[in-house]
Chains A and B, each alone.
Chain A
């Protein structure tokens, strides 16, 4: 397909073409990547106002079920929503199982929703560089709310936070009992913390909410919100959405969102450059030679050896 066809398709929200465009962005072929950057360049012109929300939490916490509930709530209000989910690939077989739609059955089949699961291809961050560009595509296609779901492993939360306006973290009352169960650093990243499956033990959920709020009051310097919720029983979903909207609107109105997005772009440039250089390095014949030699004859003092090599290195 040609760029013009992609653009026309994305602009008219042609599901098949939008989906092909995402594939193009995710492709590892060099010629595809060039085309992809051209496409993004174009799409930036058509961007619509959107709310970008990151959602994370440990496996089994009910992320997909939460998104199903939240998504259905939004669709009732005639919002167009896009959901990008990132699933882990097997480090051994490199294949992946993408079962998100089995947990978002009603949403999957709804005209107003676009759901695209992506394998993380074994990347530690769990989130592609490409995810950010996919957001741009979805915005060009007119999606007003974009939810990005990632499994809470590695550094994925940080990556997601770097491409979204709001970050929502899901946990369970059993996990929240002891605050140490919540991954270090994740709490600071979050704007909203949701204690899911409250229906299993309402008292406990309330208790955890209380403890968390106390904890955050002492340790945090930004305003964070804690909610109890049951995604399965659709309890408190509306409350959570109203909160998201009000935070977003406030920040949008005083230009914070826009400034933050620009800042994010700066950070992404750095990230993409690093990744690109790393890739170039990997393909560099001298580098490959050094690696091959060291595998044949491992150095006794790898630290010294590395320093020697680095000292001789210059970036020109």
Chain B
């Protein structure tokens, strides 16, 4: 290993100014147009002398409207809305109604109370005063708005004495801007309304400007209510309203009201998600300092500069990364931030890998998909390409990942389930039938069985007579993270790394436009890593691959420009943006140590996927909101391609309809918003830059620790990254379970009345039958001697590092060797890797020690012991080739902390094997975690095996990604309890214990 001293003595990177930037672009007509003004796509620090801010905390009121048809109905509706999380209610059409009935049981001194389309305001006000008097509430403390166009001076003067905290006049911001009223109203009694467009970045600047102008003129803060009007229908409207809401919130609105065509509940929950899951209510004027936003604000404030006041109390809060954050940031906070002058398109690429970013080329809409057979997936791909998707991303099924043909005895439950089954060159050919590989870039998520898959892909390209040099795309080829989190490896680490370097060698020589690796943090995020851990370990992986390439004799500039990265994007909006920006700087810093001549060797290009862990099964429509927020974060951070999750991905593979909504999310962002006219639009924001810096420094520490351990391969052997990621995951689960972290519909604002959605089901037995038929046919029509000859050659090649295994695999594939055979030829020499499971314990208990539910559960395990002579004993297991083990590990460690004896089964077991282990250990419960769709085959088979072995009294529970509609089927087969995604662990434990005792 070449030892380098990371992050020390690295010469600084060059600053970038507007002049430099202009010089480096060819065309100059990149502009944002907004309300007759024109802005540049990017601004720099020296273009913004002073910045503006305003005095308002970061929270906003969630407002909903109720049309009064009958008093009782209105009251019922209002109470329902309040329970949902609304804290401001607007009643429409108040005439001579009985206000007391309408406001029954409503705490009028806690919420904001509004009236629109009022017939008799004096009657209304008198009724309200009477109610306040009756309830012994000081009317002067009541808060609310009367949406009036005008009001007589006499009335006004009379009312404000009684209800001084109400707004009496409603004025649209636009008309106020045009013609300021010279009137008798005190500006604090005006309610300003505004309908933002989906050019949300520009709207942020515009709204800020209004607030700042107003504060300057009237010395008070205006009350702004943003009205979200949407054009789209049904679920698509959630995408649009989400974008507009983010614009309004970051622009500093006081209240948000939705005017869309779907049920109120989803709109309200969207707001709650923005508050509690994305933390948009934490930092006031979050974009203060952002060069672009400040420029737009300045444009509408006519250059007015307001001195920053620091009136805000610095209440700190902790993000999951352990970063202490304040409720307001100013230029004072970023004095020690050194990266502010870095630009886009030049190292360290803080503001984007390319100079013009989306202005010139939008990000690639690349939806990860694949299921069933090659034929079925091919149809789906073609449809998507036709509907505007710009690249393909192939998901393979688990047997393919793990190097098994579909007829292997260990894979029966997994064929065609979580991806497409590929056994042969013929399958690969069908997969890309009618798709022009010279024009469509193809990304393939493959790590374990990379040799046969790359070989098949290359042979197909050759058959289609496409020059390899023309093929663009990506192969994941990131084996290190498989050993850390994802578990779809085949061989032990050392030979696996050798294969990685063989792929590098082959592609750098023959496929110059092909990304030979996609170093992936996504799976770490999904496994529970915090943002700093995700980028640190991913970059450490990257560093290890660079060393591998160099050791294989490649020059740094031969392959480093073809490395790409893959991030997961979670719900913590600003943290996620900061994370990706920080990663770009770090990578450039790391790569500088290898003295590349080509600056592209230092350039970090990203693919992003919205987080699957953030999706929940309850109210799945809310997942549209979550995915939209995450997609916005990814694109503001400047990703090169993006996968947006479908709303049902927490439960199954996407259906045609849910896949469409997911894709349309990206199309909406590209076509309807101003994201693509900007470059790093939040760059310069004090808050964001502090976050970027904090994450950068935390990540550096982790990277140094890995280096100290001898690089990532060694660190993995020692188990360092795995343990740290798992500890982070358990903490996160614990904070969800004790509601420190809120997830709407899961641990707060639950409701059981949600619509079930239609779900895609794959008949794996049928897929397997088809695949086996095809395999048999291939085997009949090939020259067996030739196949054996090339497979033997491949096996022999494994013994010597000097031979390129991909070249040999291609030869074997050309002669119709199957995926399983090619993989086995290597396995014969390399062996199959078996993971050693280490489990953290005690962490969950530490986070839960004050949770009363947790304590009750602990007592119950004790009671169980008194009654049955031993502790409740559970075997936690995964069946088949599904290696996603975050969930099962969290269950194991938290159940042990609750007081269970927990047996851990090895990964990748057959039902028969699990049955034997459960019976030998004489457990009370088997907990099966299923995330890859094999549950309907594998779990009933387990129950059958238990019967055969003579113990059918063991209680079977299941968890993970199991669609609701399969619950009954599984229960009929003997499954006692099923826990969906996002189950609170303690609640599940209590549920089980109560059943057992």
Contacts and interface: CB of A to CB of B under 8 A. Distances in A.
A35 to B, nearest CB: 11
Interface stretch (B229-237, B682-690, B862-870): B862-870
Contacts of A114: 920
B751 interface: no
A26 B901 CA distance: 13
B901 A98 contact: yes
Contacts of B916: 15, 108-109
B920 A98 contact: no
Contacts of B650: none
Contacts of B869: 26-29, 32
Contact of A15 (B834, B838, B904, B920): B920
Nearest to B950: A16
Given A15-B920, A93-B858, A108-B913, A101 B906 contact: yes
A116 B902 contact: no
Interface centre among A15, A20, A114 (most CB of B within 10 A): A15
Interface in B914-936: 916-917, 919-922
Interface stretch (B324-332, B480-488, B797-805, B892-900): B892-900
Contact of B841 (A22, A32, A97): A97
B835 interface: yes
B814 to A, nearest CB: 35
A94 B861 contact: yes
B949 interface: yes
A47 B562 CA distance: 67
Interface in A87-108: 89-90, 92-99, 101-103, 105, 108
B953 to A, nearest CB: 10
Given A93-B899, A117-B903, A27 B951 contact: no
Interface residues of A, number: 34
B676 to A, nearest CB: 49
Contact of A97 (B862, B871, B896): B896
B893 A97 contact: yes
Contacts of A117: 903, 921
Given A16-B951, A23-B922, A108-B917, A97 B904 contact: yes
A78 to B, nearest CB: 19
Main secondary structure of the interface of B (DSSP, over half): mixed
Contacts of A119: 871, 901
A99 B901 contact: no
Contacts of B871: 94-96, 119
Interface string B846-867: 0000000000001001100100
B905 interface: yes
A150 interface: no
A196 interface: no
Contacts of A20: 922, 951
B858 A14 contact: no
A95 B920 contact: no
A22 B869 CA distance: 12
Contact of B896 (A95, A101, A116): A95
Contact of B919 (A15, A28, A89, A92): A15
B861 A98 contact: no
A101 B899 contact: no
Contact of B920 (A27, A99, A102, A116): A116
Interface string B559-593: 00000000000000000000000000000000000
A102 B905 contact: yes
A15 B950 CA distance: 8
B897 A93 contact: yes
Given A15-B949, A15-B950, 9 more contacts: A14-B950, A16-B951, A19-B922, A28-B865, A28-B870, A29-B869, A92-B845, A95-B898, A105-B906
Top 10 A-B pairs ranked by shortest CB distance? A27-B869, A29-B869, A16-B950, A102-B837, A95-B896, A99-B904, A19-B922, A16-B951, A95-B899, A102-B906
Interface of B: 834-839, 841-842, 845, 858, 861-862, 865, 868-871, 892-893, 895-907, 909, 913, 916-917, 919-922, 949-951
10 contacts: A16-B950, A92-B842, A93-B896, A97-B896, A97-B904, A99-B837, A102-B835, A103-B836, A108-B906, A116-B921
